[in-house]
Amino acid sequence: MRILIIEDESINASRLKRLLEELEPNCEILDIIDTVEGAVKWLKSNEKPDLITMDIRLADGISFSIFEEIKISSPVIFTTAYDEYAVRAFKVNSIDYLMKPIDKSELEFALQKFKTLSKTDTYNDIAGILKGFINKPTFRLRFLVTYRDGYKSVNVTDIDFIYSEFKTSNLVLKSGIVIPIPQTMEELEQELDPDVFFRANRQFFIRAESIKSIANYFNAKLKIQLKADPEREVIISREKAPFFKQWMDR
């Protein structure tokens, strides 16, 4: 088993390498890459690995950028300290999504899943096989909200942005109406289509159409001004800024 490790933290990379070698004594660790740029360069100039383990936040950006630069047919086990990218991970060649610190038993399960896929790889097309193993995520289409003495349905297409205040999530409709909902922001992150809604920070989900302006902010952050509520500042962290730019630039 030929494995490429993409990880920017040396301690995590060393531990992952050790765990892989313990679980698969005959595996070959091809290299350890710590940047998006380095990963793209390596993948363009080397034979494809049997398996890739990939951290999501790398030294120079978000690893999903790699998939924009080069076609990857090798299956990927994502490793990350953040759970906000799970849905996006399964849109590419992911066979598992492991949270740091990596648990040995969870890594072992992911490797077994990889082996199961490999056994059915008649045409050496892991990416195609993965589509049959991974259910296509379905996203929320509407919300049923209380209205007067009953309920009414609100389509997600009618939502301008979503914000959280005093532990309550609120839909802001394009009409300007604000509707509180019982779902938490974490629940919404799993239910909303990430191609449509971007979680800017702990308080906001925004749509591209809801943005009035994007400005640089101190410490490599970004400041977003909303069309419907220009007085409300939406700050995107330095870590999320590259991912946001990629989300907007497509």
The better pLDDT of the pair 193, 121 is held by: 193
Is the domain of 25 the same as that of 96? yes
d(CA 54, CA 58) in angstroms, rounded, equals 9
Is the domain of 50 the same as that of 128? yes
Query: What was the pLDDT predicted at 148?
Result: 83
Q: What is the pLDDT of residues 50-88, one digit of tens each?
A: 999 999 888 888 888 898 888 888 899 988 876 555 555
Is the domain of 79 the same as that of 152? no
Mean pLDDT of 111-123: 69
Is the domain of 159 the same as that of 243? yes
Domain end, chosen from 101, 133, 165, is at 133
d(CA 70, CA 60) in angstroms, rounded, equals 17
Q: Which residues are CB-contacts of 78 (< 8 A; sequence separation ≥ 6)?
A: 53, 54, 55, 56, 63, 85, 89, 94, 96, 97, 98
User: What DSSP element (H or E) covers 156?
Assistant: none
> Could you tell me the pLDDT band of residue 125, with boundaries at 50, 70 and 90?
very low
Query: What was the pLDDT predicted at 90?
Result: 58
Q: What is the pLDDT of residues 143-201, one digit of tens each?
A: 999 888 888 899 999 999 999 998 899 999 999 999 999 999 989 988 898 889 999 99
Query: What was the pLDDT predicted at 89?
Result: 57
Query: What was the pLDDT predicted at 123?
Result: 34
CATH number for the domain that contains residue 38: 3.40.50.2300
pLDDT of 134 strictly over 50? no
d(CA 156, CA 174) in angstroms, rounded, equals 10
Handedness of CA 25, 29, 35, 40 (dihedral sign): negative
Start-end of H helices in 46-180:
64-69, 86-89, 104-119, 126-133
Is the domain of 80 the same as that of 201? no
Q: What percent of the chain has pLDDT over 90?
A: 50
> How many structural domains comprise the chain?
2
Cβ–Cβ under 8 Å, residues 17 and 29:
yes
Structural domain including 65 reads 2-133
Handedness of CA 138, 240, 93, 110 (dihedral sign): negative
Mean pLDDT for all residues in the chain: 85
Domain end, chosen from 79, 113, 133, is at 133
Is the domain of 161 the same as that of 91? no
Is the domain of 31 the same as that of 71? yes
CATH number for the domain that contains residue 170: 2.40.50.40
Domain end, chosen from 133, 165, 200, is at 133
Is the domain of 146 the same as that of 234? yes
